[in-house]
Chain A
Amino acid sequence: MKTKTSRDVRKFIAIMILILAGLGVLPFFVGRFHVVLVTEALILGVYALSFDLIFGYGGMLSFGQSVFFGVGAYTILYSFKGGLGLGVSLLLAVFVAGIFGLLVGSAVVRVRGAKFFLITLVGSILFYLLALDNRWLTGGSDGMIVPTGFSGLAENYYLVLGISLSVIIFATVLVNSPLGLVFKMIRDNERRAGLLGYSVGRYKVTAFAIGGGLAGLAGGLYAYTTGFASAGFFHWTRSADAVVWTILGGAGTVVGPFVGAALLTFVRETLSAIMGNIYPVIVGVLLILAVIVFPGGLFGLLKGAVRNFGGSDE
């Protein structure tokens, strides 16, 4: 006899296969603009997921994610300037941003609550100002061009799609691994985890390093895709974007951040053509709804809808 849970899992797998198949053939059916848009949404989804590992699984509301995004973008830029290829450059972006994550995490994990939030916010502002002032290194607010050839929109789309899928698989394995379970335990009850003998600080730093590395990957892909990087990549509002996308999509889930990033990327593009100034208002309303009405985020809503699809199994 099949249980309700196993049927839900099968429904989810079927839906995921459908989505994947749709994404796989997307460039054949939509225009170049939408290929670019979906590419960007996927990259920003990876970025949001990097934050979710720290917040949704690690329980740390960090506003410093933009630092790792910016570091990843400039690592790619200088890696290309040094003549390295795309693959090595992306790995370097993950590595360097991961090291930054390790260092930043080591500095902040002992702080908790509002102080933690403030210290990461101030940290990202500090990095932004440093990036702005050191124009020789970053190009300041004007930014710098990433010196690379571009393989083409469709090729880049499939590259980003492949990397995004790999990141989703990696994150799914991670959050279900013993390490991921410890993250969740720390998030739910840090004191208890400590009493059980887990080195809470070390696990939090690990979450920062992994989240930092993935944000660096997103920053690198973004810089490669758009062809430029600027000090603005370090700005704290970019950290806030990750917070908004994750909470809206569903914190503590692997797919939720992608849903949030994709939705708001499309909303932004649609509204910018009609009335650009209303975008922040829409985001604000959606965020309030997400927190009050559907705390599980859009992904939580979708999961509920899928469960109910096909009627009751009783």
Chain B
Amino acid sequence: MKNTGRRLTRRSFLKGVIAGGLSLMAGGLKFHRSYSSSPITIGLQVELTGGLATYGYWHLKSARAAVDRINAEGGIGGRKVKLVHEDTETDPTTGSRKMRRLILKRGADFVIGSQHSGVCLASLPASRRFSVPYFPIGEATEITGSDGHEYVFRLNCSVEAHAEAGYRWVMKNLGPNWTVLYADYAMGQSAVEDWGSRLEASGGRIVDNIAVPQGTDDFGPYLQKVDPEKSDVLVIILYGPDALACLRRSEEMGLNNELALFGNTGSVEALDIDFSGAEGLWSITNYPRCLEGSPVELKDANRAFREMVGVSSDGRGSKGRIVDASHFWVPWEGVNLLKEAMESAGWEGNGDNSRLIEKLEGINIHGSVDYPQGSKYIRAADHQGFHSQYIQRVEDGELEIKTELSPEDSEYEPNAEL
């Protein structure tokens, strides 16, 4: 049989390799040139279905508004910004899959979200493996603690920061003897540890910790365990409808008149509290639901921010939907923080991520339309953000801001040294 093919010699092989290498380099140069004008892609990992869908609705609106505003003003470094989002279904396994999808399929250069701590934790490995800066919103302390890494930055407070800022205030103003009623899953258990350990270390006393399964309809059996004689405060660490059901039952049992009620950030989040059972409830929040509660110097900035996202001054959307005030500002500020840090670092592509990280570490942020929640800083050691928090109370069906706690009040010892 005649061999019609050309024989591959060492010389022709080397020529091929060199030619291939040169064309790859040329392709790379061409790619680099076009890269600096291609859009910057920001991924949003968001809960649009499942237990935290109420949060996700607002996070998407907030991120979209921020990106639209930036694009209208010329983009980041002259480049347009594209927002892509994926629904985590409020499930860690799905959330981690969606994180990979955002990065590998949809080309996200950065990812913001999710609200669900489990999703955030499950997404941390992907963020590190693909070297993509990640701005989780979930509050579990480990996210910027034992499990954090150099690509992770959290703007909003962790569970531990809430506990650090809140426990002294509750102890001093409502009393040192607490009964804690908490959602029996990771976030609730974590909050119990963080609040309880601080209280007891300061001389207070946990009368009882009462675990309640998620989705409980009748809180009667659990509230019966509360002893108003021994407790000054009933601390409620519940979320959404569970918190509502608890408050209604507590009122029926007359507990609301016998001891003070104090809730975590989720206890009133996105809920209509205009009912008698919620009256008098104290709680901690990252951001006032009503514009009236914003600090005077940030009132105009917040008015503009709310208008752009579509939130009225009383904390409702166009269809009357109540905003998740404590967190909906995070995607907005996250997008703006990225713009600031990218322009300052001269970011053009993923190769500049280390410069971007340097800019973000220890950054001081000043309250403005870009940062309507207020001034804050991101600690370099663990990439955890610290900002003001507020103590609020339900009075006449409205959330009234009573006290502002400073960013320094929230600061705890870093759990990591990145």
Contacts and interface: CB of A to CB of B under 8 A. Distances in A.
Interface of A: 31-33, 36, 132-133, 135, 139-146, 150, 226-228, 230, 232-233, 269, 272-273, 276-277
Contacts of B185: 132, 140-141
Residue of B49, B100, B187 with highest tally of chain A CB at under 10 A? B100
B129 A33 contact: no
Given A135-B186, A230-B93, A33 B105 contact: yes
A139 B49 contact: no
Contacts of B125: 145-146, 150, 226-228
Contact of B117 (A31, A133, A142): A142
Nearest to B147: A145
A143 B186 CA distance: 9
A139 B121 contact: yes
A68 B185 CA distance: 23
Contacts, number: 76
Given A135-B189, A226-B122, A142 B100 contact: no
Given A228-B125, A272-B101, 4 more contacts: A142-B142, A227-B129, A230-B122, A276-B89
Contact of A143 (B86, B118, B189): B118
B96 interface: yes
Scoring B89, B117, B185 by chain A CB atoms within 10 A of each residue's CB, the highest score goes to B185
B126 interface: yes
Contacts of B91: 232
A187 B147 CA distance: 47
A233 B187 CA distance: 18
Contact of A33 (B49, B104, B142, B186): B104
Interface in B62-105: 86-87, 89, 91-93, 96, 98, 100-101, 104-105
Given A276-B49, A277-B49, A141 B104 contact: no
16 contacts: A31-B104, A33-B100, A33-B105, A139-B186, A140-B186, A141-B118, A142-B121, A142-B142, A145-B124, A150-B125, A226-B93, A227-B125, A228-B92, A230-B93, A273-B101, A276-B49
B167 to A, nearest CB: 21
B140 interface: yes
Residue of B101, B118, B124, B184 most packed against chain A (CB within 10 A)? B118
Nearest to B125: A227
B122 A141 contact: no
Nearest to A148: B125
A150 B100 CA distance: 15
B129 A226 contact: no
A228 B147 CA distance: 11
Contacts of B49: 276-277
Contacts of B92: 141-143, 228, 230, 232
Nearest to A146: B125
Interface in B225-262: none
B365 to A, nearest CB: 28
Contacts of B93: 226, 230, 232-233
A270 to B, nearest CB: 11
A144 B146 CA distance: 10
Contacts of A141: 92, 118, 185-186
Contact of B122 (A32, A140, A143): A143
A226 B118 CA distance: 14
A31 B104 CA distance: 8
Nearest to A228: B122
Nearest to A138: B186
Contacts of B104: 31-33, 36
Nearest to B123: A228
A276 B46 CA distance: 13
Interface string B186-226: 11010000000000000000000000000000000000000
Nearest to B124: A145
A273 B98 CA distance: 10
Contacts of B101: 33, 269, 272-273
Nearest to B184: A133
A124 to B, nearest CB: 16
Contacts of A276: 49, 87, 89
A272 B100 CA distance: 13
Contacts of A145: 121, 124-125, 147
